[in-house]
Each structure stands twice: as C-alpha cells, then as structure tokens.
Chains A and B, each alone.
Chain A
Amino acid sequence: MQILKQAIAGTLESSDLMVKVAPSADDALEVIVHSEVIKQFGAQIRKVVDDTLRQLDVRAGSIVIEDKGALDCVIRARVQTAVLRAADASQPNWEKLS
C-alpha cells in the first residue's frame, strides 16, 4: 500500500495513541515511537506497529507514533486507519486487517 499524502488518526487521550503518516522523500520506511510506557512496552508497541505495516504492505513512508498507553488492538486500529487514509483506500481488504 502506497502512502500518497499526510494523514493522522487517533487522539492524545489516555489509552489511545496518535499516528501521523507521511510520504517518504527517499522511499525508505521510518518508524518513530514515543510512549509514556516506552521502557516497559516499547518493544511490544514497535512489534505491533511493524506487524501492522507489514500486513498492509507499507514499504515506504514516515510513521510517527505518540502512544498514551494504548492496548495492542487500539494500536493496530489507529495505524491501519492512518495508513488507509494516507493511501486513499476507501475499500479496505478486511482479510488483511485482522
């Protein structure tokens, strides 16, 4: 899935996260994770984000995460929403989103 434009999903409220997605200038995939619980859960958050991007076949783009203690299922939903918005994909492939 190709990141065509900037997009945002989520909020900065507790138990949520904000995901900012933008096209990459050099066709690289860059993921930055900020979290209040980075010490305890940083690796797990990063894994969920990477898995979700892989499922969506995102190979290039800038992905910035501001996590406020979200559950894995919320992280998946917010990353998918931001990517689908950035890719102008109005009809998601549900089998790829599980």
Chain B
Amino acid sequence: MKLRRSMLFLPGANAAMLSTAFVYKPDSIMFDLEDAVSLREKDAARLLVFHALQNPAYRDIETVVRINPLNTPFGLDDLEAVVRAGVDVVRLPKTDSAEDVWQLEKEVERIERAGGREVGSTRLMAAIESASGVVNALSIAKASPRLIGIALAGFDYVMDMQTERGDGTELFYARCAVLHAARAAGIDAFDVVYSDVNDEEGFLREVELIKRLGFNGKSLINPRQIELLHNAYAPTEEEVEYAGRVIAAAEAAERDGLGVIALNGKMIDAPIVNHARRTLQRAQASGTRQ
C-alpha cells in the first residue's frame, strides 16, 4: 500500500529545483515536461529530467513525469526518454477516454522492450482535464493494469466547463466522479493543485474537504504545502490508539483461528482493519496531527 498524499510538481527545465527537490520528501515527485516548460526548452527539459531520474538521490522517492500529450510533436520523445530512464510513473495529461490510455500503454511497452526494461515495470496515471474525461472517468480508470491512479486537473477542466475556480462548487461533480471511478477501479485518486501558495487557510480548508471525500492526496506546486498536507492527513493520537487496538484484535483472531473479529464487544470487519492499517501507515510516515 504506497502512501500518496503529496505529489510535488517541479518544472522540468529548472536545474536548481531538480537538483534539490528530493530533500522536501513528498510522497511522489512529479517532473513536468508539459505546461511548465516553454516550447523552446522542451528538448533541454527532457534531457534534464532524463538524467535527474537516474540520479541516486531520487532512488527512494516515487518519480512521476508529466509528458506532453502524444498528439503533440513532443509527447513520444518525452516518453522515450523517461521510460528508458526508469521513471516509476508516467502521467498522461488531458486524458479524455480509455483509448488515450491504450495508446500510451502500447508505446510504453514498445519502449520498454527496445530499452531492455522489464515489460510492465512502468506504471501510468491519467490526468482528467475536461468534461469528456470526467464523463469517461470509470472507463479511463479501468483502462490498464498499469494505472496507479487518476488525477483531476482543475484549470483546464473549469475552462472546459465555462466557469472558473471558486469555493469548490465548480469542481463538486468532477471530484465525486473521479473519486468514484478510482475507487471502483481500485486505484488512487488525486485532487487539483491549490495555486495560491500564500493562502494557508484556504489550502487547509480544501485539504480537509478532499480528505473527507476520500482522495488519497493532492498535487502540490510549492514545497511549503507538503508539511501542511501531511499534517492534515495525519491521524490524531486517539485514532492511532484505536487503530492499534483494531490491528491487535485482528491479529489475535487470526492466531486463534476465529473468523470473526471483536473489539469491546463490537464486530470488526475487513474494511475497518484496512482503514486501521492506513491510519497506522500515515502515523508512521508523519506522526500524529499537530
């Protein structure tokens, strides 16, 4: 069960950020070759990311690369570079249908074979950025066993919906649709970036909302947001104590060969045990909520 609360965006053309970002310890680092890179620097960013992915400093952090769409002159070259460099996850932007994922999957497999990488070792995630993508979220989420998650990307989506970012009402349906699709497919769901890095209060309000909805985490654009997010996702001491008792009861029931787990006279079922495991995992990663 990989913890994916924070996915930190880094502009692929920024050498200084690529050289230091691992120190912030997000759950995943996402090198961006798409919107954060100007057209004339696409080749330079691709090579910077190609080498950063092979830097031992990134060995212990999940690496994600947002490539350019495959229907642009840059998408396939991006894919060639990052798959050969051993990226953990390729993030496909502007995913409108399952066909987009199938096309990506086919190219990834070709490059894995040509580059001598294990077929299936490159995982995928799809970013949903349009009304079509939201409507097709379930078929996208189920399109490939390589998918680790789907992400809602807010800016393009609200443009497509002819609205703008506000208090979250404009994202309500899309968040619920993407989240349900991810859960039905058994993969992770990631929320949009919060672009006002100076508004901690607004950021935390949004984090609280998406956490309660059930998102695994959020895309981030500033390292300052990592600790805030991790703390908001951290369980309270009471939650950790209860989770510990649930796991102890489950282990005792298994030891004694009992099919039913009981704690303080109440029956505990598998989803509660899984939730307790996630609680302990979050506590282990960043302690209890401050």
A binds B: yes
- Contacts from A to B (Cβ < 8 Å): 9-11, 13-17, 70-71, 73-74, 76-78, 80-81, 84-85, 91-92, 94-95, 97-98
The answer to whether A74 touches B43, judged by C-beta atoms less than 8 angstroms apart, is no
Residues of B within 8 A of A92 (CB): 47
Q: Does B30 contact A (CB under 8 A)?
A: no
Q: Does B18 contact A (CB under 8 A)?
A: yes
Q: Does B54 contact A (CB under 8 A)?
A: yes
The answer to whether A73 touches B80, judged by C-beta atoms less than 8 angstroms apart, is no
* CA of A98 to CA of B115, assembled, Å: 11
Which residue from B15, B47, B81 sits with its C-beta under 8 Å from A16?
A: B15
The answer to whether B43 touches A85, judged by C-beta atoms less than 8 angstroms apart, is yes
Q: Does B44 contact A (CB under 8 A)?
A: yes
* CA of A29 to CA of B82, assembled, Å: 31
Given contacts A73-B54, A77-B51, contact A14 B44 (CB under 8 A): no
* CA of A98 to CA of B117, assembled, Å: 14
* Contacts of B2-54 to chain A: CB distance below 8 A: 15-16, 18-20, 43-44, 47-48, 50-52, 54
Q: Does B55 contact A (CB under 8 A)?
A: yes
- List the 9 shortest-distance A-B pairs measured between CB atoms, nearest first: A73-B51, A15-B16, A16-B15, A77-B47, A77-B48, A81-B44, A77-B51, A74-B15, A15-B19
Residue among B19, B20, B47 having the largest count of chain A Cβ atoms under 10 Å:
B47
The answer to whether A77 touches B19, judged by C-beta atoms less than 8 angstroms apart, is no
The answer to whether A15 touches B54, judged by C-beta atoms less than 8 angstroms apart, is no
Given contacts A73-B51, A74-B51, A81-B44, contact A94 B80 (CB under 8 A): yes
Residue among A84, A85, A98 having the largest count of chain B Cβ atoms under 10 Å:
A98
Given contacts A74-B48, A97-B50, contact A13 B15 (CB under 8 A): yes
* CA of A85 to CA of B54, assembled, Å: 23
Residues of B within 8 A of A78 (CB): 15, 44, 47-48
* CA of A94 to CA of B16, assembled, Å: 23
